[in-house]
Structure 1
């Protein structure tokens, strides 16, 4: 049922959408023919490994959230560029680890907005904010009153900064959020790397050029720079499957995982 207080904005189903493509990679149901066609091109370019990469990304997100809740004592989670709700949502992982946690999802996509509002109906500790992560001052000022910044929080920038162009300065965005957070907060980042498969990344960029956001895979050195000014938690900025893997984690199907991630603590 559509919430009449927040009518759904019209959205273009004829143009591939990065959130819906991601949902398709994960085996979800919230996508349209244009999304599926574009996603299949990326699957072909990657010889199917993009699906492994997005699953590893999802698993990394869950491990990072559990680390913040159980070991770092974080109770407030701000998920930027959240994308479409799917299996293992941040609030599900956070609340399982810490029942008193608060979660705010942030995205500027109208489809994501609709699903985000549905979350509000059943989980009072979850809020949805329709905003652009590239405007940190606006995001921070619009946070609900229940999401207090008087204690450490966790900011999740998972698989979103590679949709921020160099001109939009992703390094400056991370720094801006870090400045707005209390000491002891953590920032979680995952980002697509270009080092291992430069030709495939260039082809993938062409596919995403027709979508609603350009893909900007970056060299590992540029990804590590995102953590400047933060105290990087062990084991550092590494391929996602190497960040505190579960004891029963399965080996990769591919030779390597071209997605790096890490967790940085705000001094």
Structure 2
């Protein structure tokens, strides 16, 4: 494919980043994505709250890291389609000199990212499993001798084997300096309607997803210093004051850990 040609788009199969974009109120989706997204939502109505709670968690974590923690480098793997409050937007509002490297292996995601996320950002075409390539290319834009915040938001669920997912996290964090951070979040099994909806998705979509337990998500942070309040439902991680009620737990858990 020429670099001047747009990537081929299969509009006959639902696509995870486009469905997630639909749930977040974005514009980059097709009829098949809306159809599967609506079917998922009928089976499991809280999915919209999960998507929005996940995005809000990302924002609070990045604001803390770029603000109070003084982090100036972010490695965001599994970028997804651009929407409101992407990692670089949140980070650079708090610290205009923050640098962000985005990683994805989906040509459609990369095309949108390069068009809509300019400035102090870099975009790498790489698969999550290829940690050596990710680290090699990212090191050309980020100084690995200084702290980096590694963002793994709703991506490890796309790794079928839990052991493989843990290995990937270990390989990435091992390459980062002391004082680096891991921000992680993924959907958790409820033994009921969420599992059933994800099973439907895995039969209808292009990128299967595995729900895990909060205890498994906690294992991604083994060896790190957990920031309070630990591994919790995403809306409960340092919720911001609101005049419209209190934060409500959803079936996605997240956490932030610091490498000692």
1:132 paired residue among 118, 127, 133: 127
- SS of residue matched to 2:152: strand
Q: Render the CA deviation track for 1:10-68: whole Å, top value 9, x for unaligned.
A: 2311111000000010111111111111111110011x211111111000000000111
Deviation at 1:249, TM superposition (A): 6.8
Residues 247, 89 of structure 1: CA spacing in aligned structure 2 closer, same or farther, 3 A cutoff? same
Deviation at 1:208, TM superposition (A): 2.7
Unaligned runs of 5+ in 2: none
Query: 2:14·2:33 contact (CA, 8 Å) conserved in 1?
Result: yes
Q: Render the CA deviation track for 1:117-164: whole Å, top value 9, x for unaligned.
A: 1145x41x1111111122111111112623211200101001111111
1:219 aligns with 2:217: no
Unaligned runs of 5+ in 1: none
Query: 1:163·1:216 contact (CA, 8 Å) conserved in 2?
Result: yes
Query: 2:169·2:220 contact (CA, 8 Å) conserved in 1?
Result: yes
1:240 paired residue among 234, 237, 260: 234
Distance in 2 (alpha carbons) for counterparts of 1:10 and 1:190: 30
Residues 189, 166 of structure 1: CA spacing in aligned structure 2 closer, same or farther, 3 A cutoff? same
- Name the TM-score, length of structure 2 as normaliser: 0.93
Question: How many correspondences in the alignment?
Answer: 259
- Name the TM-score, length of structure 1 as normaliser: 0.91
1:25 aligns with 2:20: no
Distance in 2 (alpha carbons) for counterparts of 1:250 and 1:209: 38
RMSD value, Cα? 1.8
Aligned partner of 1:34 in structure 2 is: 32
Query: 1:45·1:204 contact (CA, 8 Å) conserved in 2?
Result: no
Query: 1:41·1:207 contact (CA, 8 Å) conserved in 2?
Result: no
